[in-house]
Amino acid sequence: MKSPQPPRWATRLLETFCAPHLLEEVQGDLEERFHRRVAQFGERVARRRYTAEVLGFLRRRLNGPFALKRPRNEVSPHFFSNPAMLRNYVKIALRTLAHNKAYAFINVVGLSIGLAAAMLILLFTKDEVSYDRFHANHPNLYRITSKRIAPGGTLEGLEGNTGFFQGPKFTAGIPDIQAFVRFQDYLYDTKRGTEVKSQQVFLTDTSFFSVFSFPLLSGDPKTALRQPKSVVISEGLAQTHFGTTDALGKVIFFKQSYGEGVNGPFEPYAVTGVAKKCPQNSSIKFEALMPLVVKQEEIGNDFGWFNIFLNTFVVLKPTANVGRVEASMNRIYRADAKESMKMMAEKYGMKHREDYMLQPFTAMHLSEDLSANNGLVDGSNPLFSYLLSGIALFILGIACINFVNLTVARSLKRAKEIGIRKVVGGGRTQLTWQFLGESFLLCFAAFAFALLLVEAVLPTFNQLANKALSLSYLFDVKLVVSYVALFLATGLLAGFYPALVLSKYDPVQTLYGRFQLSGKNHLQKTLVVLQFAIASFLIIGTLTIYSQFDYLTHKSLGYDDTHVISIEKPGLNPSLDVLKAELLKAPGIVAVAPKNGGQWGTAAKINGETQVEFTYETIDPTYLPLFKIPIAKGRNFSPDFPTDSTQSVLVNETFVKTAGWKAPLGQVVNFWYNEEKYRVVGVVKDYHYEALNKKIGPQLFTMRPKNGYGKAFIKIKPNTETASLRHLEATFKKLFPFSPYAYKFLDVENRRQYEAEAKWKQIMLFGAVLTIFISCIGLFGLATLSAERRTKEVGIRKVLGASASSIVQLLSSDFLKLVGISFVFAFPAAYFATDQWLQNYPYRIGISPWTFVVAAAAAVLIAFLTVSLQSLRAALTNPVKSLRSE
Amino acid sequence: MRRTYLGEFEEVVLLTVAVLGEGAYGVAITDELERQTGRAVSLSAVHAALHRLEEKGMLKSRLGEATAERGGRRKRLFNVTVLGSRALSDIRAVRERLWDAISPQTLPAFGL
């Protein structure tokens, strides 16, 4: 018969509330009485009385909380209050690290890579987000933008730029707008002695320095831009021109690079201010500022509202309501431009509506639709930031997971220590704190190492990201706080799970050697699969980018760009024949052909009233032969046909297709706004006149005399670069003493088009290598664990005659299976992603199965190498050692 | 006279500890009290009084042997200290002086 027991819940209640040093005697007394009562009165009465007595003890609060009293000098179990325990913890932690140097090192390195990636991204994001916030007028600064609405009401497009009118007219009519400033990108040539160079200059209003916060080293910001023919230069430019920043009052000679002043004399501009270097996180970066002068005829220009070529910024009153200001802007626009709009609708069929809006200044940098352009710099795609943040978070996550895996794996060796600690009285919380503390120690070491890593990698990162970040950024309070938060979060994340798992070990099992790792490691296995899936994905991505890049840079452009030098000379027309004659005197120079400067595009009518847009090229008969561009039908321009320049045009094959012409020769192209009609005399084979990431569009060639040439291409014989360049330079300077001379090799320039792709290539490569490295760490941890777990099994197999290689095979096959599973996830995702990415390129490679095969092989090989180290070690251990403890 | 503040219950418990001599622990004291005073005494009250007395320095305690009846738990045995015995005799002296000072025939007689 079971002996009667006092009610358990009452006992538990007592245990909870009674002071521990009194608990034993109280419980003993209660139980003694209970048993006596059972003998006297029976069990039920005894239980009732027991409960009553327990409650009595709890009720004793009336005389002071008796049972709750604790002796005054009891030692708190928390280790913070006890230096002896702390010393022990530190000693054990250091010893553990010293005994497992390899693992500690790998752990720290893995975690520090993750931390370094996260830190770099924090720096990057901080910089991106902080753009343009340094201006004093900051929350009230806006840019005037507009959207085009088609007659049906659909949005046709967004425009970030304006013309001359918007700034002054809106400011005059709306009291909430305090000031406006226009900012126009322009090119001037400067002359120092005989040297002529191009200089980017910004034309702006006198309000520039009161709207924006760009401090001046010398000069008065209020009057600096008041006089025409004055210029404010940056301290860098002052150094270049005068060797000192004390340039106030000095004179620089400028002339316009294009436009009406292109051949004019150099005129002296007085330096009215020297400005400090623009900060790194500014969309406005200037070397030279000049006052914007709006000519009289511009003010009355009917098209004034519709010419778009500069940026206008306004400062609103702090109390202004943006919506109401926008409404007022549109009211003024419709009133002032009523006549012009009617004229545009009649003459040019311009039926769409313009709605003006205000874009906050700080939103420009990260905006995709209304980006910082036309003189503003560093317009950034937020996609880039999101992607980088994603990658960094991901790497950090994986690093933490690996840390967890490795720590748990190594903990087997400490099972006995944990058992003993528990036996002598350590509580679970105490143990948890101990292991958490060890993790924090490692994390701290990783953090310090990560800082060093960041410092080392920063220059490369800056180059990749087009920034000038430096560690001095770190002294920003918010960033320091975020780094500390990062450290704490990582330490907790990485240390929490192992601490929990380790403190759970049962002392009986560990000390009697019955310790076995429970469970099938589902968590760890899933993590390894995940890591390898991502690693394979990145390998495939990298391989794809590499081949696409290769393709882009090696694909035939449809014309011969080798050994071709290009020079710029606006207003070339009058001097073209002289230039050709002079240049061809050199033996190395084979041909010279002109073209319009920049990229022109326009529209014309064909087939009656159909309007087609096309790229508009102004050339001469030597152009197409110089580049070896074949003519598919008809003929090239030729001096034998003197009417070519006024009556003939050439079109390319895409033009013919777009126009739907079956017989292109003889078709009419109507430039109706100039009232000129031309006939097609030849069809040019399509060639890539733009970078390969743009589709070939319709192209039309003309020799119209009124169009200006702005460039010249010079074809030279191979290996005659030096001589030809020397001759070219001499001729140019003789003919155009007032124009800056700069030459480019066309094939080099064409390579430069793919800078963005080159960057992506590098980033993917880094990402892939890092992920693979970290995945290997993870796999290494798992392999260690498994090898440790199976030492006895391996020992027995060896004793029974298994060879080392069969054991390696046995141990590795598990992991190779995991890697195989990861492919199942990685390949479809990779296929989808690469397909999407390649859609951006009209000319692209196909996705070949070889990429996947190579990626799979690479992943398997890497996994095998990682695992085989441990498997080999397990296979080579002396079975005596592993079986001895049986 | 030393100022000793001892409640009535505490005084009785202290006396009982003295009566029991070596075997003075919670249950024994409670049983003895019940026998002597004839009223039900709660174990918790006795424990509270014992520990208050120990804090005041009137008792000293030690942990004794465990028995199976107590579920293997030890019992706490109490002994009266010098301070405790002084307190007791002081109280006794006061009482006796007061009793002696009562003139005969003052207290109403009650049946034998």
Distances (CA, A) of B34 to B30, B39, B40: 6, 6, 6
Would the pLDDT of A471 be above 60?
yes
Would the pLDDT of A221 be above 70?
yes
Would the pLDDT of A9 be above 80?
yes
What pLDDT band is residue A62 in, cutting at 50, 70 and 90?
A: very low
Would the pLDDT of A346 be above 90?
no
CB neighbour list of residue A694: distance below 8 Å, 6 or more residues apart: A842
Kindly state whether B74 is in contact with chain A, defined as any CB-CB distance less than 8 angstroms: yes
How many residues appear in chain B? 112
The pLDDT, as a whole number, for residue B1 is 42
Closest residue to A25, CB basis, from B26, B48, B67: B26
Would the pLDDT of B29 be above 90?
yes
- Using the beta-carbon criterion (under 8 Å), do A66 and B43 form an inter-chain contact? no
The pLDDT, as a whole number, for residue B112 is 59
Would the pLDDT of A75 be above 50?
no
DSSP letter at A819?
A: H
The pLDDT, as a whole number, for residue A517 is 56
Closest residue to B27, CB basis, from A27, A33, A57: A33
Name chain B contacts of A25, Cβ cutoff 8 Å. 25-26, 47, 63, 73-76
What are the tens digits of pLDDT across the range A263-313?
778 888 999 989 988 887 788 888 899 998 887 777 777 777 777 788 889
Would the pLDDT of A850 be above 90?
no
Would the pLDDT of B80 be above 90?
yes
CB neighbour list of residue A153: distance below 8 Å, 6 or more residues apart: none
Q: Which two structure tokens, joined as six digits, stand for A158?
A: 């967004």
Report chain A residues touching chain B, CB-CB < 8 A. 22, 24-33, 35, 53, 56-57, 59-60, 63, 66, 69
Angle value at C-alpha A149, between A145 and A155, nearest 5 degrees: 90
DSSP symbols for A259-287: STTTTS--EEEEEEEEEPPPPTT-S---S
Picking from A37-51, A253-267, A575-589, B65-79, which range would have the lowest pLDDT averaged per residue? A253-267
What pLDDT band is residue A665 in, cutting at 50, 70 and 90?
A: confident
Residue where the block lists tokens 């191009």: A198
pLDDT mean over A730-751: 81
Name chain A contacts of B25, Cβ cutoff 8 Å. 25, 29
**CA gap A689, A623 in Å, rounded:** 13
pLDDT mean over A754-780: 77
Closest residue to A56, CB basis, from B44, B67, B74: B44
The pLDDT, as a whole number, for residue B4 is 59
Does ipTM top 0.95?
A: no
Would the pLDDT of A424 be above 70?
yes
The rounded radius of gyration (Å) of the Cα atoms in chain B is 17
The pLDDT, as a whole number, for residue A67 is 46
The pLDDT, as a whole number, for residue A691 is 73
Q: Which residue of A has its CA nearest to B25?
A: A29
What are the tens digits of pLDDT across the range A539-581?
888 888 888 888 877 777 888 888 888 888 877 888 888 888 8
Average pLDDT taken over every residue of chain A: 81
